Chain A
Amino acid sequence: MNDTGQQVDLVDGEIVVGIAGAALMAALTGVLAYLALPYPWSPEPITLQILGIFLVGVFLGAKWGGLSMVLYLVAGGVGAPVFAHGQAGIGHLFGSSAGYLFSFPIAVVVIGLLAYGHTGMGDPSSLSHSRLIGSLVAGAAIIYALGIVGLMVVLELSLVEALIGGAVVFFPGEAAKIAAAVAIAQSGHVVDWPPQGIGQ
């Protein structure tokens, strides 16, 4: 062990809990992004990456969810295999999926703000059905809009071409993922989080 002669500067309990939740939910998003489920309407198996993004927004709220997604991008950038299909590397932040990747933190913050009206965490099972669906649809719209813009910029495609290349490849199953995210949020079966209760 190195003795650096410094005083230890402890981190507050609430922040420790927030960081642990944000990092582990980012890792869960990475695992879901690696998962490929066969889907009859899609030419290739779809991943649950976007479902992970929805869950981060709904369960962690704008502030900690936003941090979670920033951690996701940084970790993937330095080599954790968390991007879709287990991809990793800073190159993806400049590549064809860059628009989608950079949209994740923005989408999560928007989902959190629209669902709870503040930056903290809330109780997802207390939300009205329409408010929850509205916030998730807004999040999905941001992800696809920025994803398509990313394709246009990086691959120099026209809007129509980017729509065909981007949305058609990724879009199948999106409604199913939103429906699943709503069911998960309102199931009441998810462990309480944060441990000290809502109200941060």
Chain B
Amino acid sequence: MLTYEPGTTVGHRLDARAKLGFQIAFAVAAFAHTTMSGMAVLSVLALAVLATARVSPLRALWSIRVPLVLLAFAPLLAAATLGPPWLDIGDGLVTALASYRVVLILLVSTAYVVTTAPRESRAAIQWAVPGRPGVVLGIGVSLIFRFLPVLQSDLRRIRDAIAARGGENASLRRRAELIGILGVSRTFRRANRLALAMQARCFSWNPTLPPLSATRLDVPVVALSSMLLLSPLL
């Protein structure tokens, strides 16, 4: 599981908006050119993106190992047929290419995750979604980043308490029930305190955000994104 790591790589110095736009453009191009040659070009591009973020391809692959299981299994599923000829290679190849494009898209997004601080992402979200909806999205996303580790430790304590009372031997339904009751209660208590604290600190619709600044470094990224976005028309 990869998360944001502070650094000074080219990937870190790029503007969050340019990186988000590039990922969407890359996905559009990957869906439009699901051919051998298209995948070859996009593979080189994906490796270049990982290089700018100094993330080794193996490490990136390891971080997406869970979805990879299904992506590797899908072509076999598509190729298998009930009855002769038992294996339809053509069908399998189509799904293999489709699976591979998803792998590339996921690899590119790991580069974004590693190089972009949550507060930059928040500023990019609020730039993309103006007005109050953007503020709600921005603050909500920041709170999720902030409270994820807190709720994780809450849940770890809940699971330890259940285990200490022999709950590990209970049925899945009973364990899920105990985790849910205690987890939701704790979460609501935290949300209560958080809402009170936000009001005490004058939570407003117009908070001051970190300034986003596009630099010369972003120009090639934007140009490349535009090319990828237009590539389905070629």
**B4 proximal to A (CB < 8 A):** yes
Nearest 7 A/B pairs, CB to CB: A89-B109, A91-B109, A180-B176, A78-B121, A23-B143, A79-B113, A71-B140
Residue on B nearest A81 in the bound complex, by CB: B1
Main SS of the interface on chain B?
Answer: helix
- B51 CB–A CB distance under 8 Å: no
CB distance from A187 to the nearest CB of B (A): 6
Check: B136 CB closer than 8 A to any chain A CB. yes
Chain B, Cβ-Cβ closest to A182? B177
Tell which of B7-15, B70-78, B223-231 binds the partner: B70-78
- Complex Cα distance A4/B210, Å? 12
A37 to B173, CA, bound (A): 11
Cβ of B180 within 8 Å of any chain A Cβ, yes or no, is yes
Interface of A is mostly: helix
Does chain A have a CB within 8 A of B66?
Answer: yes
B134-173, CB < 8 A from A: 136-137, 139-141, 143-145, 147-148, 151-152, 154-155, 159, 171-173
CB distance from A70 to the nearest CB of B (A): 7
Could you give 7 example pairs across A and B, Cβ below 8 Å?
A16-B199, A19-B136, A23-B140, A59-B184, A90-B112, A156-B78, A183-B173
Q: Which residues of B contact A184 (CB under 8 A)?
A: 177, 180-181, 184
Q: Which residues from 61 to 92 on chain A have a C-beta closer than 8 Å to any C-beta of chain B?
A: 67, 70-72, 74-75, 78-82, 84-92
Chain A residue, CB-CB nearest to B145: A80
Given A9-B204, A11-B205, A87-B67, list of 17 further CB < 8 A pairs?
A8-B204, A11-B203, A13-B195, A16-B203, A31-B155, A55-B184, A72-B144, A78-B122, A88-B2, A89-B112, A91-B27, A91-B109, A155-B102, A157-B78, A158-B78, A183-B173, A192-B188
A180 touches which one: B94, B177, B205 (CB < 8 A)?
Answer: B177
A156 neighbours in B (Cβ, 8 Å): 78, 94-95, 98
| CB atoms of A87 and B1 under 8 A apart | yes
Question: In the docked arrangement, what's the CA distance between A179 and B191, Å?
Answer: 26
What residue of chain B has the Cβ atom nearest to residue A34's Cβ?
A: B152
Q: How far apart sit A122 and B180, CA to CA, in the bound complex (Å)?
A: 18
- A interface vs B, CB < 8 Å? 1-2, 4, 6, 8-11, 13, 16-17, 19-28, 30-32, 34-35, 37, 39, 46, 48, 51, 55, 59, 67, 70-72, 74-75, 78-82, 84-92, 94-97, 151, 154-158, 161, 164-165, 169, 173, 176-177, 179-181, 183-184, 187, 189-193, 195
Contact B181 A189 (CB under 8 A): yes
Also in contact, A89 and B191, with CB within 8 A (given A19-B140, A31-B151, A51-B180)? no
Known: A48-B176, A156-B95. A31 touches B198 (CB 8 A): no
